[in-house]
Amino acid sequence: MVSHQPPQAQDDWFKPVAKDAEKAESVVRPSLSYWQDAWRRLRQNKLAMSGLFFLVLLALFAIFAPMLSPHDITTTQYAKQNMPPSSEHWFGTDDKGWDVFTRTWYGARVSLFVGVAAALIDFFIGIIYGGISGYKGGRTDSVMMRIIEVLYGLPHLLVVILLMVIMGSSLTTIIVALTITGWVGMARIVRGQVLQIKNYEFVTASKSFGARTPRIIRRNLLPNTMGPIIVQMTLTVPSAIFAEAFLSFLGLGISAPFASWGVMANDALPVILSGHWWRLFFPAFFISMTMFAFNVLGDGMQDALDPKLRR
């Protein structure tokens, strides 16, 4: 309140104005639901959206490209060994004369399948285990958490390697091995979320109306715990893809001709010194790009779903 010229006002402005209740409550910005708002913010994140775009494209290619490919990748083609990229073989050929382009998309199928399957199985086990542990609380919770703690202490990749050695290399084995160790992280997150939310008033309110446990879990807990869980799933996919590639690279991958990217990279390792760079480059590039896309998408979703960042 600094003394300055009194503001100018016309005499006829001095009359009461009609009150309307709505005006007093008027809100300038439109209100959006949680998911609408999250989606709006995700869309603003260019990096995350390009990640999503890449993944959609990758999935389409993985589904259709092998079907459309004219190249045979089941019998060895001695005439076409180790040919560099050309108009006929866009990504070149490998030591069996197989088209690297075609194999790359078969590899995409394997990698995406492994990643998504592992994430989904983790999700279901994690939801059930973590949900029960968090929701029941008390003794059940402490016993279940002790089990988790021990499992968490296990070196995952070692267990996976051991399982692969014993069960033999196949797609199913990889997924089983990855989920046996992988669900623990998801269960912890779900439990944490449930613990936090089950004490909120709206859950108590539901209970006081006589809602039964399954209904409370379905209607109150799940929708409110989904944010971090979706983020965790998005980030599980690249780590499963990495784990698959890693195992393949150790010689525990699935066998030819349906190679994964890891197997292709592993096969190419001895020959990069001889200059057949395309054999390593393309699978390596796609592993990296896919992991990159999932990571930026996961980060973007984390930011978008974090209520603290809501503006």
Partner 1 sequence: MAIYIVKRFFMMIATILIIATLTFFLMHSIPGSPFDEERTSNPTIQANLEKYYKLDQPTHIQYLYYLKAIVTFDFGPSIKKPNESVNTQLARGFPISAELGIVSILVAVLSGITLGTFAALRHNGIIDYGAMTFAVIGISVPNFVLATLLIQQFAVNLQWLPPATWSSPKHMILPTLALATGPTAIIARLTRSSMLEVLTQDYMKMARAKGLSPFRIVFRHALRNALMPIVTIMGTMLAGILTGTFVIERIFAIPGMGKYFVESINNRDYPVIMGSTVFYSAFLVFMLFLVDIVYGFLDPRIKLHRKEGDA
Partner 2 sequence: MNEQQLANANALVKERQEEVPSLPKAVMTEKQVGQKHKRQPDYSEKVLAVEDLHVSFKTFGGEVQALRGVSFDLYKGETLAVVGESGCGKSVTANTIMGLIPQPPGRIKSGRILFKNKDLTKLNKAAMRKVQGVDISMIFQDPMTALNPTLKIGEQLTEGLRTHQNVSKAEARKKAVELLEIVGIPNPEERLKQYPHQFSGGMRQRIVIAIALICEPELLIADEPTTALDVTIQAQILELFDEIQARTGVSIILITHDLGVVAKIADRIAVMYAGKVIEIGDKREVFYSPQHPYTKGLLASVPRLDLKEEELQPIDGTPPDLFAPPIGCPFAARCPFAMEVCEKVYPGTTELSETHKVDCWLQDERAKHVFQM
CB of residue 26 to partner 2, shortest distance in Å: 7
Q: Does 155 bind partner 1 (CB under 8 A)?
A: yes
C-beta contacts of 49-52 below 8 A and 24+ residues apart: 49/300, 50/293, 50/296, 51/292, 51/293, 51/294, 51/295, 51/296, 51/297, 51/300, 52/293, 52/297
Tell me how far CA of residue 95 lies from CA of 131, 270, 279, in angstroms: 50, 11, 9
CB of residue 248 to partner 1, shortest distance in Å: 10
Give the nearer residue to partner 1 in terms of CB position, either 104 or 295: 295
Q: 82 with 95: CB under 8 angstroms?
A: yes
Q: Which residue matches tokens 């499963």?
A: 240
Residue 79 contact partner, candidates partner 1, partner 2, none, CB within 5 to 8 A by sort of partner: none
- Contact pattern for partner 2 over residues 25 through 64, marking x by CB under 8 A: xxxxx-----------------------------------
Indicate the burial class of 298 (C-beta count within 10 angstroms; 0-12, 13-18, 19 or more). Answer: buried
Q: Does 11 bind partner 2 (CB under 8 A)?
A: yes
Using CB under 8 A, which of 120, 145, 216, 256 touches partner 1?
A: 145
- Residue 256 makes CB contacts below 8 A (sequence gap 6+) with 96, 263
The span from the CA of 156 to the CA of 148, in Å, is 13
Q: Segment near partner 1 (CB under 8 A), from 80-88, 199-207, 216-224, 284-292?
A: 284-292
Nearest to 249 by CA among 164, 146, 129, 154: 164
Q: Does 308 bind partner 2 (CB under 8 A)?
A: no
CB of residue 281 to partner 1, shortest distance in Å: 9
Q: Does 142 bind partner 1 (CB under 8 A)?
A: yes
The span from the CA of 150 to the CA of 23, in Å, is 59
Using CB under 8 A, which of 46, 56, 149, 199 touches partner 1?
A: 149
Q: Segment near partner 2 (CB under 8 A), from 15-23, 121-129, 159-167, 176-184?
A: 15-23
CB of residue 37 to partner 2, shortest distance in Å: 12
Give the nearer residue to partner 1 in terms of CB position, either 49 or 289: 289
Tell me how far CA of residue 183 lies from CA of 31, 120, 299, in angstroms: 36, 10, 20
Residue 10 contact partner, candidates partner 2, partner 1, none, CB within 5 to 8 A by sort of partner: partner 2
Nearest to 132 by CA among 144, 119, 150: 144
CB of residue 271 to partner 2, shortest distance in Å: 51
- Residue 278 makes CB contacts below 8 A (sequence gap 6+) with 84, 85, 91, 92, 100
Region 232-251 residues binding partner 1, contact defined as CB under 8 A: 238, 242, 245-246, 249-251
Q: Segment near partner 1 (CB under 8 A), from 21-29, 30-38, 171-179, 271-279?
A: 271-279
Q: How many other CB atoms sit within 10 Å of the CB of residue 95?
A: 15
Give the footprint of partner 2 on this chain (CB under 8 A): 1-17, 19, 21, 23-29, 311
Give the footprint of partner 1 on this chain (CB under 8 A): 142, 145, 149-150, 153-159, 161-163, 165-166, 238, 242, 245-246, 249-252, 265, 269, 272-273, 277, 280, 284, 287-289, 291-292, 295-296, 299
